[in-house]
Each structure stands twice: as structure tokens, then as C-alpha cells.
Structure 1
């Protein structure tokens, strides 16, 4: 099945010619991953780049004491697995897991390197993307050091709403199913503490739960809890 129509939706590939898109289509193959399937682990050989077609993928790190820290949740149209290749690392340093049933377009390391060698502007776009993600991680680490758990949870909900939110009347649904354990991993806390904070926000009328999804009822109040600055 031709994948050109999908590849055109990926930001870093926009602006390429039809011939270049067909070349890219020719070096990718599609693979399905079931929900909760592991795509790669730390120490795995870094020999592929992934383009997310459908579903969501979680990228996380394992700390020295064995705790999982979620770095980002990726949406369709995003690329991942490219950083270790661009930085010339031979093995993975993070975990990639399918949060939902996912379809990925996969490119081998060799084909990817040859392709970006011919497209220096693509290499620049990937470098900028890596820089943006690095700044996101730095911000998250600063939050861990300087913010309390209630602030971190409030900030996380606001960021998830920006990235995955849907407006429903005067409310905003975070349209992604996460457990309290997932939320804890996203803010570097325990499940018990995270659950207590979420329940506090519910009692305060800031949020409500719809199964494993959070609905923001009072965005202004949540921003006050987060000490959020526009």
C-alpha cells in the first residue's frame, strides 16, 4: 500500500517534491503494534526510525532506582527513534511503548542516513525537533526540582489538554486514556500521591473523571493551582 499520502502529513517531510516522497515511500514498511506492546528498550540496537501513523506511543526512561519516568506521549504524524541515530549512538537509551493499538512506518538506519544525507534541510529540521524535545525534558526536570506535586499535576493536565484536548461545551476533555500510574510517571511521583492530588482537584471542582479520561471543568482555577503564566 502506498504511504505517500500519510508521509506528507509529517511536518519534517513537508515541502519535499513528489519524487522525493515516492523515494521515501519506497524505503519504509508498515508494522502494527498491539496496545502495551514494547517497540524498543534501553540497550536495543538503534537501527530503525519510526513514523507514527495511528495510535499513541509513550517514550520513557528508567531511573537508576528502577522507576519509570514518562518523557512524552506521541500523536499520529510524529517521528521518534531518530535521536540516537542522528547522535550516532548504537543503542537505545529509552523505552518506546504503544499506549494504544498503533501502526508505524519504519525506516532502517542505513536508508534513513542515506536519505537525510541528500536532504540537508531535513537533517536541520530533525536537529531542531531534537532541540525542542530536549527543552521539554529540561522543563520537566526543572518542575521536578522546583514545583510541588499539586503544581506538577495541574501543569501536566494543562499541557495534556493543549496537546490532546477536545472542547466539549464549556469543558475540555483530555482525549487520552491514562491510569493514575501513568500520570504518576509523567510527573515523577508515586501513584498514591498522584491519586490524592487528582481527587483534591475533583473535590475543588477543577476536574472530573470519565473512565480513564480527565475533563477540565475550571481551566482558570487549574492554572492558579499550577501557578501558570501565559
Structure 2
């Protein structure tokens, strides 16, 4: 099962107070929440739905950096962006509601709660570690192993048996084409590593782990 970040638990416990100083926003599927170079002046808490954080290469290819779901925060790099501008973009993956919390309001809350401040530091360290793992995977794993790792991580992060991810979204997470993902997914299904139909994928976690050990 997925675990809730302590900082998200802190926000849940302060929701009434946070709603007073934040705005609730709703987004449609594929609607952009913030763009590259937008002012980095808010941190976001997801009330419902899911959000992907992406970057786009010079040749227009999109790479999904991370996916966040209800009960999680995103946009935390607002605390470290150069010139207070966004270095990535956030897009709703389905109908999504978020709380947009102004940075200075959130910092004021953290100053009054040392434990929450430490929890925020822990979140930064966790996501930095995940980014490092992504770099290592891109450098050392082939496409098939990268897809297996993405499926395992997505299953672990979400706590769901069925993942609503299209082949295009998986391609953006792995760093390859949709056609290659389709080929590997068919191979995985034939080998009993996953079940899937349309945009729902059911990873067989133990089989995928064993595949990574032996491949």
C-alpha cells in the first residue's frame, strides 16, 4: 500500500486554516496547472484527481518526471527555483481539484511547526533520491528494464492494483516511443508479468521484481 507523506498529513490536519489563505482550483483532463517559466509562487495540495509533472525537450518530446495523486503535494520546487520561475510544468491527468497555497503563507505555517519543517526537508530528500534513481536507470538500464521499474514504482506509489496509464504516458515516463512501449507491454503480458486492457494496467509485482533480478 502507498504511504502518506508526513507533510501531507500536516496539511490534512490544517485544512480548515489552509482553506482560509488558499484558493481551490479545478482542472479538466490534460489542462495545464502551471507552465514552464510561470511564477513559482504557490505549492499545491491535491484534493482529488492526479497530476503529472513534466519537462519538454528542445525537440518537443515530453518526459514525465513524476505523478502525484489525491492527498499529495506538488510544486514544492517553488522553494528552490532560479529567479522564482517554474522549471517544469504540471498537467491534470483527469478531472482534478487542488488547493493552491501561496509560498509565503506555507512558509509561515512551517515556521510555527518545527516538525512540519523537518517533514518538508524529508520530502525534499525523498524526491531528490527518486530523481537520482531515475538518472541511474536511464544511464544503465535498457528500455525493457526501465518499463518494469516504472510499473513497479507506479504500483507502489499509488497503492493500486490497477493503474490508469496509457501507453503514451508510459512512454513519457520511460523515455521512449509509444510503439516500443506497446511491443514490450505485449511481451510482458505474454510472459505473465502484467495484465492490461485499454488504459488499465495490472502489474504482477513479484513477477516483475523477479524479472529485474534475472534479466
TM bucket normalised to smaller: 0.7 to 0.9
1:60 to 54, 62, 71: 54
The aligned counterpart of 1:91 is 85
TM-score (norm 1): 0.81
The aligned counterpart of 2:171 is 184
Larger Rg: 1
Q: Distance in 1 between matches of 2:212 and 2:74?
A: 29
Whether the aligned pair in 2 keeps the contact of 1:11 and 1:77 (CA below 8 Å) is no
Aligned CA RMSD, in angstroms, stands at 2.3
The aligned counterpart of 1:133 is 127
- Deviation, 1:189, is 1.3
Query: Which blocks of at least 5 consecutive residues in structure 2 are unaligned?
Result: none
- Deviation, 1:109, is 2.3
The aligned counterpart of 2:148 is 154
Q: Distance in 1 between matches of 2:205 and 2:187?
A: 15
The aligned counterpart of 1:5 is none
Higher normalized helix content (fraction of residues): 2
The aligned counterpart of 1:208 is 195
The aligned counterpart of 2:209 is 223
Q: What pairs up with 1:163-202 in 2 under 5 angstroms?
A: 163-166=157-160, 173-174=161-162, 176-202=163-189
Q: What pairs up with 1:69-148 in 2 under 5 angstroms?
A: 69-86=63-80, 89-148=83-142
2:43 to 43, 46, 49: 49
TM-score (norm 2): 0.87
Q: Which secondary structure does the structure 2 equivalent of 1:113 belong to? A: helix
The structure-2 alpha-carbon separation of the partners of 1:25 and 1:196, relative to structure 1 and needing over 3 Å to count, comes to same
Q: Deviations over 1:32-58 (max 9, x none)?
A: 111111001110011111100100111
Q: Distance in 1 between matches of 2:111 and 2:77?
A: 15
Q: Distance in 1 between matches of 2:71 and 2:135?
A: 26
Q: Distance in 2 between matches of 1:21 and 1:181?
A: 35
Q: Distance in 1 between matches of 2:173 and 2:9?
A: 31
Q: Deviations over 1:191-210 (max 9, x none)?
A: 12111111111122222212
